[in-house]
Amino acid sequence: MARGALGAPLGWGAGGLVVLAVAVLFGISSGAASLSAADIVLHLLSLLPLDVESPLTERQAALLVALRLPRVVMGAVVGALLATAGAAYQGVFRNPLADPYLLGAAAGAGLGATAVIVFGGQISDEPRTLVPVAAFAGALVGVAAAYLLGTTAGGGGTAALVLAGVAVSSFLSAVQTFVQQMGTDQLQRIYAWLLGGLGRGGWDDVRLIAPYALVGMLVLLVCGHLLDMLALGDDKAVSLGLDPAVVRVVVISAASLATAAAVSVSGLIGFVGIVVPHIVRRLVGSSYRAILPVTMIAGAAFLVTVDIVARTVVSPAELPIGVVTAFLGAPFFVLILRTTRHRSV
């Protein structure tokens, strides 16, 4: 990539980091107990080996470190995972409507996680640690089923893949409903999880998904140039020494792992994987070497910001974050669908 071509993505990436930093700071300071941004910065600096004294009381420090900071970190991680997975799915399927939720990945991950919530206590003393693994297996099943159905029964076009994803997601959601009815004592926990949210998370959840998130994101970022080659078509990719089938398996597995890690701790938060990549693509161009890292940053900033809205718009109550992303994402999806349809006519 030429130096001039690198300039715009680097600029947008740097701008995204600034927006993310502002969103994180505002997210930490927002809440019933107000904390100033300056006091937060000073307290965080006091945790480092620097000669800085914290202006916060012991109670305020505990509120910051134990409750607000892990929630904001969780929002940034989940947003980055869902957005980058969405961009990767769009690249590997060469389909602008591909998304963790439209392709059945999230529904499959939800089914796996729900099964562990309901039955995990019967097979392990620590069922919570099984949630990401079960979610990953379910995500892979969901994506594979949607892709096979879309290519074999529908011809593999954009509309066919979307319809296949909707069908698979509906089926998996029905199975999930059946499973949760078998664990009525867990219904409240499952229902809250289905609506999506970050308020239940803590540092334990961050540590739980960190290995899965790290592996998934690193693989996807490394595969950016491979997705650029894949975009040229399978024949051209083969002539350049690339095995398209291997690339697809690796990228789909990594994107499904990222989706599963996010879903296992946040529940179902839709539209992040379709809204953010489309905005980023319009800003930085069509190269996935630029799209993936900028999308990761933008997804983190997006979900942290949306979580602030969810916490404050009906304060002192709190909206499920999945409801807010649906309000924002549904009209955006309709716009993308109309644009895609006009281009294909």
- How does pLDDT run across 195-243, given as a tens digit for each residue? 677 877 688 888 888 999 999 999 999 999 999 998 888 889 899 888 9
Out of 3.90.180.10, 1.10.3470.10, 1.10.220.110, 3.40.50.150, the CATH code matching 79-344 is 1.10.3470.10
d(CA 268, CA 271): 10
- pLDDT at residue 104 in the model: 86
Kindly indicate the confidence band of residue 147, based on its pLDDT and cuts at 50, 70 and 90. Answer: confident
Q: Is the pTM higher than 0.95?
A: no
pLDDT digits (tens, 9 = 90+) for 278-325: 999 989 988 999 999 999 999 999 999 999 988 888 777 788 888 888
- pLDDT at residue 6 in the model: 54
The position carrying tokens 């305020």 is 60
Residue 250 pLDDT more than 70? yes
Kindly indicate the confidence band of residue 344, based on its pLDDT and cuts at 50, 70 and 90. Answer: very low
d(CA 87, CA 96): 9
- pLDDT at residue 2 in the model: 44
Residue 3 pLDDT more than 50? no
Give the closest residue to 287 by CA, choosing from 234, 233, 227.
Answer: 227
- pLDDT at residue 98 in the model: 79
d(CA 250, CA 247): 5
Average pLDDT of 184-192? 68
Average pLDDT of 122-146? 81
The position carrying tokens 């693994």 is 133
pLDDT digits (tens, 9 = 90+) for 39-92: 888 888 888 888 788 888 888 888 888 888 999 999 999 999 999 999 999 998
Contact 149, 102 (CB under 8 A): no
Residue 4 pLDDT more than 50? no
